[in-house]
Amino acid sequence: MTPSDENVRVVPVTRRRPDPDDRVTWEPSGRWVRGTKGEVTVVDSRRPVLVWEPGRPVPLYAFPTDDVRMDLLRRTEKPATRRHAGATVFYDLEVGGETVPRAAWTYPAEELADHVSFEWFGRDVLDHWYEEEEEIFVHPRDPYKRVDALASTRHVQVEIQGTVVADTRTPVLLFETHLPTRYYFPREDVRLDLFTPDDHRTRCPYKGVATDYWSWAGDGDVPRNIAWSYPDPLPAMSAITGRVAFYNEAVDIVVDGERLERPVTPFNDMLAR
């Protein structure tokens, strides 16, 4: 049954898309978010707000102060360097006999009054973050970013220094917004004998923890940790379990006979180190 025009209401909403200008933008999230330090739950909120800062490609969460253990926060001096879009009030976190400097802050925006944000990226301020019952890493998931892992029958090859190191007709293609397609190979289709294992590990909010890395054992100027695998990815990415992927930025990939151009991404700087 279709409602008549007089019964249709246009309801204003507070959701705002991220805006790439000089403003802090935000929107409410319906996720239940918790953050812990040791055995202490520091944040427990069913009313988080996603916040995008100017020039920052990923969001952070801000939480109502009623959902934060404010008794564990101590107001501290503003850092000398500019951080967090005009924030002027910063807090140290004191828990379990440990002090984490400038772990949290408040934004000056009136709409975000009585909200507190915590540092995530690049600093282990809290030990664990959860959305509902699933642990997440590095930063909150962006609702405007999509990650899909799709089984394929494309013929995909990887070459390093002219040597074919991977060749498959059963890849899983991982499509992630704003990044090149990553090709995940069955291990039996990768020449792992040409690599040396590495104890490197990384975390991703969409895929989980990559604990298996390999570096090229042959000649040539090839970055370390050029290949990786997720032995136990997050449930939504189960299709890539145990498969091996390579950085498109530093290897040659041929798909159905077509050699792809090496992309330029934020990972190029990391690979050059």
Q: How many CB atoms lie within 10 A of CB 108?
A: 13
Is there a common fold for 25-136 and 147-271? yes
Q: Residue 46 — very low, low, confident or very high, per pLDDT cuts 50/70/90? A: very high
pLDDT at position 1 = 47
Q: Residue 13 — very low, low, confident or very high, per pLDDT cuts 50/70/90? A: very low
Domain ranges of the chain: 25-136, 147-271
Beta bridge partners of 41: 36
Distance CA(189)–CA(195), nearest Å, equals: 14
Range of lowest pLDDT (28-32, 62-66, 135-139, 173-177): 135-139
Beta bridge partners of 37: 40
Distance CA(214)–CA(208), nearest Å, equals: 18
pLDDT at position 122 = 62
CATH of domain 147-271: 2.170.150.40
- The pTM of the full predicted model, rounded to 2 decimals, is 0.82
Distance CA(154)–CA(165), nearest Å, equals: 17
**Mean pLDDT for the chain overall:** 89
- Average pLDDT of the residues in 110-135: 88
CATH of domain 25-136: 2.170.150.40
Q: pLDDT tens across 84-101, in order?
A: 777 879 999 999 899 999
Is the pLDDT at 112 greater than 80? The verdict is yes
DSSP SS3 for 238? helix
Radius of gyration, CA atoms only, the chain: 22
Range of lowest pLDDT (85-89, 171-175, 179-183, 204-208): 85-89
If we measure between CA atoms, which residue out of 118, 121, 126, 86 comes closest to residue 102? 118
If we measure between CA atoms, which residue out of 237, 53, 248 comes closest to residue 158? 248
Q: pLDDT tens across 208-238, in order?
A: 999 999 999 999 899 999 999 999 999 999 9
pLDDT at position 21 = 61
Beta bridge partners of 169: none
Distance CA(166)–CA(3), nearest Å, equals: 57
Q: pLDDT tens across 30-40, in order?
A: 999 999 999 99
